Amino acid sequence: MEFNRNQYLMVGLIVLAIGAQLRLVDTYVLNDESVSFIQERISKKPAITNSRLPFQVMSTAMPLATKSVKPPKWVGWFVLSVGIVLSLHSLAMPKP
């Protein structure tokens, strides 16, 4: 399947928005569920979760440590430039 002009423009705008978000946000903080999901996929030992106690509103077990991800500055610029190139390429293509 070949992409037409409208699809290139939509992908370019979405990638451009993701690049703008990467440039505007300094650090992403992952919650307990995402940390346990990543630990389950990376490590061979099971992650400690609080899901064994569904009847308690406030769990007394120690919560998992939250992780923070700080992407480098060049990633934001790279994604922005790819989005701009895709958007400009869509304008140079013939109309469908």
Q: Looking at the structure, do residues 34 and 44 belong to the same domain, yes or no?
A: yes
Determine the structural domain holding residue 43 and report its residue range: 29-69
Q: Please report, rounded to a whole number, the percentage of residues in the chain having pLDDT higher than 90.
A: 51
Element (H, E) at 69: strand 67-69
Query: 37-88 pLDDT, tens per residue?
Result: 888 888 876 555 555 555 545 555 555 567 899 999 999 999 999 999 999 9
Helices 73-92, 5-24: inter-axial angle, 10-degree rounding: 160
Q: Looking at the structure, do residues 47 and 63 belong to the same domain, yes or no?
A: yes
Q: Which two tokens stand for residue 85?
A: 């190139």
DSSP 10-32: HHHHHHHHHHHHHHH---EEE-H
Q: Where are the alpha helices (DSSP H) in 26-72?
A: 32-42
Query: 83-93 pLDDT, tens per residue?
Result: 999 999 999 99
Number of domains the chain contains: 2
Q: Looking at the structure, do residues 33 and 60 belong to the same domain, yes or no?
A: yes
Q: Looking at the structure, do residues 33 and 65 belong to the same domain, yes or no?
A: yes
Q: Looking at the structure, do residues 64 and 39 belong to the same domain, yes or no?
A: yes
Rounded distance between C-alpha atoms, residue 96 and residue 81, angstroms: 25
The model carries a pTM of: 0.69
